[in-house]
């Protein structure tokens, strides 16, 4: 009875969709379901976000306010911090952060607090799915006990699944609707509900045998990237010693039509997934007596890249007869990747900390981040510097951390005293030091 009723509500789009966590994952997912014809309620604990959303104002750069405003005006989307309303929803999708703690171990505090807030208001006939990236077993070990405590039987009167988020902010070629969705369910009925639900808003759904398989799928995707980036970062350091341009090598290798995929070096990993996900698996693997040496080695290489960039900056200044202590340095780009306003786990954070610790005087310029936001790691009372010829020439060194397309690279090269390039944007030039 509960299964048929829920499936009917999903397929006739009368089901109310509740999205918990209105960030880079939850907000676009909610809008995707709204565009598919569903009413959506967004849950969040941040009052400022709630107020902004209910006014139809997006606080995420690549998510325009036009679509959000239209959804709010038509009554198809609203936001709330009242978790007692969770019982109104037929579907609850949890999209909250899963960072690492100071010991580089999984921090599931957001997931745990969320399910504890939802649990008293759950009712029979609902579907609940975790979307946050996590280690295999989280749905069973962290989410399921709260369902069972309420007396529900998964697959009969309540439905539980896991479907990892897949977002690539700033990538114009993909949006939530067009990125295939992996779905796992606690039981065959749970999987069927998840499959039919996501098919309403996502172009392609990929069912797997269990939540654990779905959780592992997400980790594989990002560990694959982390390991290959670690490899090319190591090769960059080798190539630098050999006076070889690693970007020239990557371009040449990319001409091979099979057996090679290009990955690019940088100042370190950033974003909410790649710097974090490998450590979720290495932590969980220890429970099974497995030491993930390959993954951990890549993590060590990637984590050391900000230090490498700072060392190259010291060397660049030294060549100009300038000490790092007291040097005036302009950081170009503090977002974790080009053309976005997202600073989560940005390598710029550690670069800034390292340079400050050595006595440098810092400013930053980022066209996507006008004021330095408060992050879990740090905050600085800084605003973005406008790039003019006079401003550029006033710094001892420009340090390119994030290669936004909005920069006028010719202007930078013409007026800079020194440029440290951690992204391989500039061609060989006496002013440029590759990092």
* Under 8 Å between Cβ of 380 and 405: no
Provide the β-strand partners of residue 329.
362, 397
Rg (CA), the chain: 24
Which of 95, 190, 273, 397 is catalytic? The answer is: 273
Coil, strand or helix at 335: coil
Comparing CA positions, the residue from 370, 331, 328 lying closest to residue 347 is: 331
Q: Is 201:35 a contact under the CB 8 Å cutoff?
A: yes
- 188-210 per-residue burial string, b: 16 or more CB within 10 A, e: under 16: ebbbbbbbbbbbbbbeebebbeb
126-141 b/e with 16+ CB inside 10 Å = b?
Answer: bbbbbbbbbbbebbbe
Q: Which of 95, 83, 161 is nearest to 126 (CA)?
A: 161
Using CB atoms within 10 A of its CB, is residue 316 exposed (0-12), middle (13-18) or buried (19+)? Answer: buried
Residue 79's φ and ψ, nearest 5 degrees, are: -125, 150
| CA dist list (Å): 416 to 369, 389, 392, 412 | 22, 8, 6, 6
Two tokens, residue 399:
């340090």
Helix or strand run (H / E) with residue 351: helix 347-357
Which two tokens mark 61? Answer: 């750069």
Q: Say whether 418 is catalytic.
A: no
Residue 334 half-sphere exposure toward CB, CA atoms < 13 A: 29
> Does residue 98 contact residue 107 with C-beta atoms inside 8 Å?
yes
- Residue 318's CB: how many other CB atoms inside 10 A? 11
Residues 136 and 63: their CA atoms lie apart, in Å, by 30
User: DSSP assignment, residue 427?
Assistant: P
CA distance 423 to 354: 19
**SS3 for 5?**
helix
Angle at the Cα of 260 from the Cα atoms of 255 and 265, rounded to 5 degrees: 90
Active site residues: 273
């Amino acid at each position: 009875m509960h299964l048929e009723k829920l499936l009917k509500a999903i397929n006739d789009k009368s089901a109310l969709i509740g999205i918990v966590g209105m960030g880079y994952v939850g907000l676009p997912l909610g809008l995707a379901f709204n565009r598919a014809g569903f009413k959506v309620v967004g849950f969040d604990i941040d009052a400022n976000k709630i107020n902004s959303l209910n006014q139809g104002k997006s606080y995420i750069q690549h998510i325009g306010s036009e679509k959000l405003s239209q959804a709010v005006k038509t009554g198809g989307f609203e936001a709330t911090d009242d978790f007692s309303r969770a019982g109104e929803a037929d579907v609850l999708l949890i999209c909250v952060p899963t960072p690492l703690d100071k010991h580089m171990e999984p921090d599931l505090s957001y997931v745990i607090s969320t399910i504890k807030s939802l649990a008293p208001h759950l009712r029979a006939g609902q579907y609940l799915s975790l979307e946050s990236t996590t280690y295999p077993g989280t749905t069973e070990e962290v989410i399921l006990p709260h369902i069972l405590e309420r007396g529900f039987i998964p697959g009969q009167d309540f439905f539980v699944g896991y479907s990892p988020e897949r977002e690539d902010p700033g990538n114009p070629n993909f949006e939530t609707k067009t990125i295939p969705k992996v779905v796992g369910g606690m039981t065959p009925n749970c999987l069927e509900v998840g499959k039919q639900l996501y098919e309403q808003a996502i172009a392609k759904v990929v069912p797997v045998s269990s939540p654990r398989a779905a959780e592992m799928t997400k980790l594989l995707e990002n560990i694959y990237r982390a390991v290959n980036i670690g490899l090319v970062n190591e090769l960059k350091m080798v190539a630098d010693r050999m006076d070889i341009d690693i970007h020239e090598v990557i371009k040449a290798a990319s001409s091979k039509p099979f057996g090679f995929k290009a990955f690019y070096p940088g100042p370190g990993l950033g974003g909410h997934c790649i710097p974090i996900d490998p450590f979720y698996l290495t932590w969980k693997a220890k429970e099974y007596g497995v030491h993930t040496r390959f993954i951990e080695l890549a993590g060590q290489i990637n984590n050391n890249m900000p230090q490498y960039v700072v060392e190259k900056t010291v060397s660049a200044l030294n060549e100009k007869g300038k000490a790092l202590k007291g040097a005036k340095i302009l950081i170009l780009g503090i977002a974790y990747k080009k053309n976005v306003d997202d600073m989560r786990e940005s390598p710029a954070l550690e670069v800034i900390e390292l340079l400050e610790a050595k006595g440098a005087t810092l400013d930053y310029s980022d066209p996507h981040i006008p004021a330095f936001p408060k992050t879990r790691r740090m905050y600085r009372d800084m605003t973005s510097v406008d790039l003019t010829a006079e401003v550029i020439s006033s710094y001892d060194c420009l340090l390119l951390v994030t290669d936004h397309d909005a920069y006028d690279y010719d202007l930078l090269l013409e007026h800079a005293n020194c440029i440290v390039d951690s992204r391989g944007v500039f061609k060989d030039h006496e002013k440029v030091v590759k990092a």
